[in-house]
Homo-oligomer: A and B are copies of this chain.
């Protein structure tokens, strides 16, 4: 028997690979199924573990991704998962596989980005593995973070009447990707050595795609203001997909409002240029690395003036389902489209709902 992975589907594959296991060790509190695994130290404090594999041609295209940015982003993707558990990232390991096409100077650039990210976010690089590869660049990063036991925020804690909040704005990284892909095609059609991609007025979108920042600033502000989300995750596969994860894990329904979804004006303009509904980029674009979280309704007064946070809707009973209310008042069911760059699938096991 030979079932194609594409026929089974990525979620079913992960379910198949992870469902059989029973956790054995006392130190293992939570395994597959959230942004990070949660371990318990003997004194009860919590440790968070997340890992990401980045493969050339699947997760990044070196035709337009500078290696320094790639290193920076590879770290951000991991830090974002730790922040999404309300943790503080402190260590990372970096493994790389490098084919013969790469020079030492190029690997230096990659590490420049890695160390810049590590240094800005106060994280130590504590180990890794360095190997040659037959084809292209492989990057595997594991991040270790810490939290007090009562401060860890899972996906499963949302309650009906909770407020739903997102940080920053959504859809910008996706529009940045489309612009980069567009300019790549322009170049490929006429590969002149003096080619300059046209990103004028869209620099913010390119930056959101190439150099995202994990929202540790929001985690600090929430702590300062004594606000503890009931559920939280980072937005890597698109808002729709992540809301459905929270709904499923928390056994609740979701009601968000189109008019409340934060979208930057550059995202708006670029979407219009490219004949895409901006809300589609915001809901399904992915790679935002913003935070999605829920708060008890009592936090309502505190969140209104919270810088960089938008209140986009409410948690409901599960029976009410998951909907976005369009500007005309229509309730449209949320659908997870997830995010695939081009050739494949890519799903965190620690970031994946098993069932729909």
Contact = CB atoms under 8 A, between A and B. Distances in A.
A16 interface: yes
A13 B53 contact: no
Contacts of A24: 122-124
A37 B90 CA distance: 13
Q: A1, A4, A45, A95: which has the most chain B beta carbons within 10 Å?
A: A95
A45 B41 contact: yes
Interface in A112-135: 115, 118, 122-135
A251 to B, nearest CB: 22
B16 A104 contact: yes
Contact of A107 (B17, B56, B122): B17
Copies of this protein, total: 2
Nearest to A34: B127
A347 B97 CA distance: 10
A42 interface: yes
Contact of A128 (B27, B51, B346): B51
A8 to B, nearest CB: 5
Given A4-B103, A91-B28, A136-B135, A129 B43 contact: no
B41 A93 contact: no
B127 A55 contact: no
